[in-house]
Amino acid sequence: MPLKDKYHLRIPGPTPVPPQVQRAMTQPVIGHRSRLASQLIQECSERLKPIFGTRQQPLIVAGSGTSALEAAVVNTLSPGDEAVVVVTGAFGDRFAKIVETYGIGLHRLDIPWGKACEPEQLADFLKKHPGAKSVFLTYCETSTGVLNPVAELARTVRQHSDALVIVDGVSCVGAVPCQMDDWGVDIMVTGSQKALMLPPGLAFLAVSERAWQVIAGNRQPRFYLNLEAYRRKLEQEDTTPFTAAVSLLYGLKESLSLLEEEGFENVCSRHERLKNITRAGIRASGLTLMADDRHASPTVTSIDASQEKWDVEAFRKKLQSHGFYVAGGQQHLKGKIFRIGHMGYCDEWDILTVLAAVEVTLSQMGQSVEPGMATKAAQEVMMDV
């Protein structure tokens, strides 16, 4: 049995919160309209720019990542408009559902789950739907562990359409390269509880000038998610139009300091190594990886257990009894896969530990496991410096 209150959170969000960030959030609550709060909001927005790869001022919303996805839809489109949504998993499907909810003409480009969208597929689809005003993409598809080639896909949209390029980067921004200005992305969205190492409760959006022009002309009613109100308040008063989550902002300031101290290139390199270590260990254990090497996410790895003789959910429950939390599958993948998160406050030793736990748990479930095969393969990657 694990020690009381000691466990290993290896799901793709929420992710572990560093002790420094936890301490920062225990500071006394301040008034959300105070000068201190305005300084905090302005500083955090400015320091988010290199995370997004933008010269624009990122907006901070008190809400989940889904609130920012909805904001991206409701601010750029009106009922009767057409939009293309690339669906490579559960979160692309969520984007599609938001679009449908607002009466927008939805064109779904469905890609088999576990595969990435290739630029040629998107180009062909755009030719069939020239009226689309926005194209919605998912950078990291959390449900499958696939990292879509967003830079190439955005370029493809620009070549074949005048549509806005809107990207869900919730489960990877802050851990992978993101150059939204150079890539031609019009809106990039992320959330606090993933690579930014915070509890849930904040969402962030960066918006291009081209998108602001579209938003200004869009008559779709919106209130709490009115991005023009967020931009106006930030530019004129260094604040938000509604109550800011000030304690989370203190944590955000500290998490940005941690990323800056490590250096963002080093952050991205660390996540690449975590991916490689995880995949090497999983392969050596005899399990099947869901995503191919070319499109595997640096932040979450999916393991396909659909052909195994053991029960995935029983495996996860047994693993949890040892203090290890991994994620299951979503929608039609429920009971068929499990997912290991390795983003944010995570290092190589965390992955080595969870791989050892996977081996032990499989053995306890009656599977033939040679002890140390997964950890040996992982260690070999770790020693290859």
Question: How many other CB atoms are found less than 10 A from the CB of residue 2?
Answer: 12
- For 261, the enclosing helix (H) or strand (E) is helix 246-262
d(CA 233, CA 231): 6
165 close to 185: Cβ distance less than 8 angstroms:
yes
339 labelled as ligand-binding?
yes
d(CA 114, CA 151): 19
Q: Which of 302, 322, 298, 300 is nearest to 312 (CA)?
A: 302
d(CA 191, CA 15): 11
- Rounded to 5°, the CA angle 221-139-103 comes to 25
Decide: helix, strand or coil at residue 372: coil
Instruction: Name 234's Cβ contacts closer than 8 Å, sequence gap at least 6.
Output: 41, 42, 45, 57, 59, 240
Residue corresponding to tokens 């032990």? 360
Instruction: Name 256's Cβ contacts closer than 8 Å, sequence gap at least 6.
Output: 44, 47, 48, 51, 196
Question: How many other CB atoms are found less than 10 A from the CB of residue 34?
Answer: 12
- For 273, the enclosing helix (H) or strand (E) is helix 264-284
Instruction: Name 112's Cβ contacts closer than 8 Å, sequence gap at least 6.
Output: none
17 close to 333: Cβ distance less than 8 angstroms:
no
Amino acid at 252: L
Task: Please state the residue numbers annotated as binding site for substrate.
Answer: 339
Task: Please state the residue numbers annotated as binding site.
Answer: 339
